[in-house]
Amino acid sequence: MPRVKYDRFWVHCVLAVGLTAVTLSGCTSTRNYNGSGTGPFAASQKQPTLEQLTARYKSNPRDRNNTIQYATHLRAIGQPEQAMAALEAPLAAHPKDVPISIAYAKALTAAGRFEQSLNVIDNVLRPDAPDWSALLVKGATLDQMGRNSEARRIYTQAAALAPNEASIETNLGLSYAMTNELSLAEQHLRKAVSMQGASTQTRQNLALVFGLQGRFDEARKIYAAELPPDQVESNMAYIRALLTQQNRWDLLKD
């Protein structure tokens, strides 16, 4: 099958969607997020509301877990700058704290401040004992910068540290999707969905890769198992819109 090129909007959206739970906010968050967790590629699980998270944060802004959860939600609704602001004080107080640094790096990447994000992650990555989740953020940031080969080397390093972690295989799959190597993307996403702890985002990204190859029945089947009917139709329409936008339907033919 000929290689199909997609614009940078699609590239950003595919990466972000797949990494919602582990690195970045979903692509719908900056465009049509409605505050309820629904949208073209949203997870179906119930999440705390922004009001609840804000109240927890205000009650004890020094609590690390409250701050990280609050910042995560702010990224999910397209407010990475506010997420960074919430994390700046705890990061200044604990510059080597890995979870806080990871959360801050995620916000930086979501805001497009990639070099700063890499600096924050590199500050807490120990050469003798690197944290795989920090490596995952670094890889995702490199992917967003178009440095896909470097990102894949980072993911491979992370996989050696956490060989059964579905999020690493997810990121690998999405990295290949970004360069339109859809068969390799499918291979890694299939492996990811077979692992314990695979998320709905991973399964939906496999569906997306199916759809971009013209395998609409397979894509719809996955979406139908994950989402309400209206969101299934929204996702299928989105895939067709991507293909139509690029006028590439003819390339799906053998």
- Compute mean pLDDT per 10 residues along the chain, 254 residues long, and list them: 40 41 30 29 60 90 90 93 94 92 95 96 93 96 96 96 95 93 96 94 94 95 96 94 74 58
Contacts of 69 (CB under 8 A, 6+ apart): 48, 53, 56
> Do residues 18 and 169 lie in contact, with contact meaning Cβ atoms separated by under 8 Å?
no
Q: In this predicted structure, what is the pLDDT of residue 6?
A: 40
Q: In this predicted structure, what is the pLDDT of residue 148?
A: 96
- Within 13 Å, how many C-alpha atoms sit on residue 120's CB side? 29
- The reply to whether CATH 1.25.40.10 applies to domain 8-252 is yes
Q: In this predicted structure, what is the pLDDT of residue 81?
A: 96
Q: In this predicted structure, what is the pLDDT of residue 87?
A: 95
Contacts of 121 (CB under 8 A, 6+ apart): 101, 102, 105, 134, 137, 138, 141
> Do residues 181 and 1 lie in contact, with contact meaning Cβ atoms separated by under 8 Å?
no
- Within 13 Å, how many C-alpha atoms sit on residue 150's CB side? 12
Cα 150–Cα 153–Cα 154 angle in degrees, nearest 5: 90
Measured from the Cβ of residue 68, the count of other Cβ atoms closer than 10 Å reads 21
Domains in the chain: boundaries: 8-252
DSSP helix/strand/coil, 35: coil
Measured from the Cβ of residue 175, the count of other Cβ atoms closer than 10 Å reads 26
Q: How far apart are CA 106 and CA 109, in angstroms?
A: 5
Q: Burial-class residue 7 by CB neighbours within 10 Å (0-12, 13-18, 19+).
A: exposed
Q: In this predicted structure, what is the pLDDT of residue 1?
A: 41
Q: In this predicted structure, what is the pLDDT of residue 198?
A: 93
Supply the angle between the helices 216-226 and 229-245 in degrees, to the nearest 10.
Answer: 150
